[in-house]
Structure 1
Amino acid sequence: MLLSAGLVSVTGDWILLTGLAYQVYRLTGSTVASGLAVLAGRAPQLLLGTVAGTLVDRWNRRTTMIVANLLLAAGLTPLLLVRHAGQVWIVYLVLLVETCVEQFFTPAEAALLPRLVVEDELVTANALDGQNRNIARLVGAALGGVAAGLGGLPAVALADLASFLVAAALVALIRTSGALPRTDPEPPLRSWLAGLRLAVREPTVRVVLIFFAVTALGEGVMSTLMAPWVSDVLHGTGRAYGLIMAVQAAGGIVGGVVAATLGHRIGARLLFGAGAVLFGLGDLALFLYPLVAPAVWPAGVLIALVGLPGACVVAGALTVLQTATEDGERGRVFGAVGAVGGLGALLGTVGAGTLGAVLGIVPVIASQGAGYLLAGILVLAALPRRTEPVRPVTVAG
């Protein structure tokens, strides 16, 4: 039920993201307006991540997910009113609210998953969850374009709204409790500070946070420069860009199968670190090969191959965090991961535009591969071969 809810909900998210990107530009004709939409979707992740994670550790995770889905559905209704460029501020407000609510849903989902499977099956469950996201990206992006073309912003909003309602119903069918054992209440501020101390002092959590800080910079760079790389370096068309991004998601789907099959055999640490090293090497090959032969077709092959270790990285990283932390602190840990990722992506996005103009597209976008390679080596060198739960901190029920 949890995986099905995630598949439906994330598919709706991609419908919304794709449709909004199209409609905002169509309404305004402004790339600045599109950039503000991206900022509205990024800022809450940075500002609210650790706070939301702290509150998730005080609430019933299953109930939090149900309520979050219902709030996400309700929050989309103002989009039905948008008809012209003067109302684009409604889009920004909706994106801001939706992203704020998602900061509660994401850590609640990651914290609930270990309750549904035994530890030996956890990496497989995480791999399947990651595979869901790639399937949702592939299907949702296509449906978002269709919805935007046929029915405009109202059709996009209604499709995503329906996905949240279905996801809430599926989560409600989960029988496993999401409640934490009741303890003496702790002030939220103290609980939040305890989560920050955990992120700094616990070696496994610290290494994973460093990994996500480094690689999120690269993700921000890639999201900014991927289209210019295809256009100016490969001399490809918009159609070529769309096909390359679709193939990337397809590679991630196959990678999810690989991670689900091998994960419990080779262990989460090796899946995480070796996957990152292979991803980094694949990215370097992808972004540097045009220096020798600037053809389009190798990009499709290489980005599909990179999707395989990419899926392993996600499954391994989530499992390492889940097994290295206690149930009552996982919300804060995953909230911190979201905040670090949001900051890195924002800095990467801002820096890519400036550095790309000065240094050129190829050396800047290739930094993503170098970052993954170095971060993967750090994971293999610094993480213990066996992660054990750290000493629990006091949390409220």
Structure 2
Amino acid sequence: MKDLWAVLARRRDYRLLLSADLISLTGDWVLRTGLAFHVYTLTGSTLASGGLLLASFVPLVVLGSLAGVFVDRWDRRRTMIVVNLLHVLVLLPLLAVRDEGGLWLIYLVVVTQSCLQQFFAPAEQSLVPHLVEPGQLVTANALSSQTNDIARLAGAALGGVLAATGGLPLLALVDAATYALAVLLLLRVRHRAVAVVRQRTSGALRRVKDDWVDGIRICVRSRALRIVFAFGLVTGVGEGAMSTLFAPFVSVELGGDGTAYGLIVSAQAVGGIMGGLVAAAVGGRFAAAKLWGVGAVLFGLVDLALFCYPLFWDGLAPAFALMVIVGLPGAFVVAGSMTVVQRLTDDASRGRVLGALFATEGAAVLVGITASGLLGDVVGIIPVLVAQGVGFTVGGLVVLSRSKVLGRSTAGSTATVSAG
């Protein structure tokens, strides 16, 4: 708990960043949950609802890598503030949606918000190393991952209520208000970036292209980063399969209804909150690569137990328990892997590497969604989900076997921590 207290109590700028992230993420979950409910109410079409997922993923794959180029060129704090302000403006068209004829506006807003997020995410993760001491980075990343679980638990429940009571206008206003409040908190962050001098080439487009190619070259040439990307590809496909087949798994294999599914998913969020707290409290005492590897192995083993127990045991109770338990190793994976990436990259290229990594993981998730949708009916739900658990377990073993390589920091990557 000493490490946790040191970060929360003594790092003012990080505390402001964490609070802003929690507030805006809660608004995102409010809108995400409410939109799914509202679109299905308007259209009665599961295809229309599924289109929301596609609209949010395509910009990640197409824009993620390129966005990192600009993140490395811009002040990260200012980028986050501007992106949040644009989010407020982008949400306003939702106030005009009254019937199914406004469905195109909903999709346009979702696509635009996803485009903006491709600049926000790498900017945020690139800024974190500047706000804490190097030895506090695992704790800070564990706390950052925990905020998403807290936001999901609170925002998903609130989104359903607001969608039923106030409709789409209320959802848009609440989400916009969370972004505005996040901006106020980010404006109080004292850290300012040091200007980076870059050699100029002929033309803005040429400079962007050169930086983008340079970012890809960094990812390809680094042995450690190749391991990071391979892990992201394998586990991303598994996560896509999980998102597609988990509801059928609960229904067909466990015999649960919609209420049971919702409670099991909520149990995962509860486990993630508890796991994030544990990871934040003790994670700083372990090497980030080992924390990541052990977390991935345990995550895979718990998933395998979850997916296989219906073959031998009837009932929902083990599913609830295992979904809570998996939160702990899941938090270790997120905190450890992000810390490794932050330490492997220097500040001038961190945004490009993170952007490329997020895009790669997004593409892998789309592959997993497509493949599992086709294979689920052919080979069965459980065999496909078992492959997800195996992917995490094997990936974790590879990370552990390469922990020395992954534990090396790039020269000059240690950031200067702002006062307070």
1:387 lines up with 2:393 in the alignment: no
Alpha-carbon separation, structure 2, partners of 1:391 and 1:70? 32
1:285 lines up with 2:305 in the alignment: yes
Name 1:267's counterpart in structure 2: 287
Q: How does 1:343-382 map to 2 (within 5 A)?
A: 343-382=363-402
Alpha-carbon separation, structure 2, partners of 1:280 and 1:390? 33
Given that 1:61 and 1:179 are in contact with CA atoms closer than 8 Å, whether structure 2 keeps it comes out as no
Alpha-carbon separation, structure 1, partners of 2:262 and 2:193? 40
Given that 2:138 and 2:336 are in contact with CA atoms closer than 8 Å, whether structure 1 keeps it comes out as yes
Name 2:224's counterpart in structure 1: 204
Distance apart, 1:306 and its partner CA: 0.5
Write the deviation string for residues 279-316 of structure 1: whole angstroms up to 9, x where unpaired.
Answer: 00000001110111131111000011001100110000
Task: Return the match for 2:235 from 212, 215, 229.
Answer: 215
Distance apart, 1:87 and its partner CA: 1.4
Given that 2:290 and 2:403 are in contact with CA atoms closer than 8 Å, whether structure 1 keeps it comes out as no
Which residue identity does 1:388 align to in structure 2? S
Task: Return the match for 2:130 from 115, 118, 131.
Answer: 115
Distance apart, 1:329 and its partner CA: 0.7
Q: Which runs of 5+ in 2 are unaligned?
A: 1-15, 202-206, 414-420
1:295 lines up with 2:348 in the alignment: no
Alpha-carbon separation, structure 2, partners of 1:153 and 1:135? 23
Does 78-87 or 299-308 show the bigger shift?
78-87
Alpha-carbon separation, structure 1, partners of 2:147 and 2:193? 22
Q: Which runs of 5+ in 1 are unaligned?
A: 393-397
Alpha-carbon separation, structure 1, partners of 2:411 and 2:132? 20
Task: Return the match for 2:255 from 204, 210, 235.
Answer: 235
Name 1:247's counterpart in structure 2: 267
Alpha-carbon separation, structure 2, partners of 1:53 and 1:384? 27
| Structure 1 residues 52 and 296, CA gap change in structure 2 (3 angstroms) | same
Name 1:64's counterpart in structure 2: 79
Alpha-carbon separation, structure 2, partners of 1:94 and 1:125? 31
Given that 1:61 and 1:111 are in contact with CA atoms closer than 8 Å, whether structure 2 keeps it comes out as yes
SS in structure 2 at match of 1:327: coil
Distance apart, 1:181 and its partner CA: 2.7
Given that 2:31 and 2:171 are in contact with CA atoms closer than 8 Å, whether structure 1 keeps it comes out as yes
Distance apart, 1:140 and its partner CA: 0.7
Which residue identity does 1:63 align to in structure 2? R
Alpha-carbon separation, structure 1, partners of 2:342 and 2:265? 30
Does 312-321 or 183-192 show the bigger shift?
183-192
Given that 1:200 and 1:206 are in contact with CA atoms closer than 8 Å, whether structure 2 keeps it comes out as yes
Given that 1:202 and 1:390 are in contact with CA atoms closer than 8 Å, whether structure 2 keeps it comes out as no
Given that 1:233 and 1:294 are in contact with CA atoms closer than 8 Å, whether structure 2 keeps it comes out as no
Name 1:317's counterpart in structure 2: 337
Given that 1:180 and 1:328 are in contact with CA atoms closer than 8 Å, whether structure 2 keeps it comes out as no
Which residue identity does 1:2 align to in structure 2? L
Alpha-carbon separation, structure 1, partners of 2:253 and 2:365? 23
Which residue identity does 1:261 align to in structure 2? A
| Structure 1 residues 341 and 15, CA gap change in structure 2 (3 angstroms) | same
Alpha-carbon separation, structure 2, partners of 1:240 and 1:43? 31
Name 1:395's counterpart in structure 2: none
Alpha-carbon separation, structure 2, partners of 1:252 and 1:300? 13
Distance apart, 1:390 and its partner CA: 5.3
Distance apart, 1:388 and its partner CA: 1.3
Task: Return the match for 2:245 from 211, 225, 236.
Answer: 225
1:92 lines up with 2:107 in the alignment: yes
SS in structure 2 at match of 1:158: helix
Alpha-carbon separation, structure 2, partners of 1:390 and 1:45? 29
Given that 1:69 and 1:167 are in contact with CA atoms closer than 8 Å, whether structure 2 keeps it comes out as yes
- Number of aligned pairs? 392
What TM-score do you get using the length of structure 1 for normalisation? 0.97
CA-based RMSD:
1.2
What TM-score do you get using the length of structure 2 for normalisation? 0.91
Given that 2:94 and 2:106 are in contact with CA atoms closer than 8 Å, whether structure 1 keeps it comes out as yes
Alpha-carbon separation, structure 1, partners of 2:225 and 2:322? 31
Does 102-111 or 151-160 show the bigger shift?
151-160
1:74 lines up with 2:89 in the alignment: yes
1:133 lines up with 2:154 in the alignment: no
Name 1:45's counterpart in structure 2: 60
Alpha-carbon separation, structure 2, partners of 1:48 and 1:109? 17
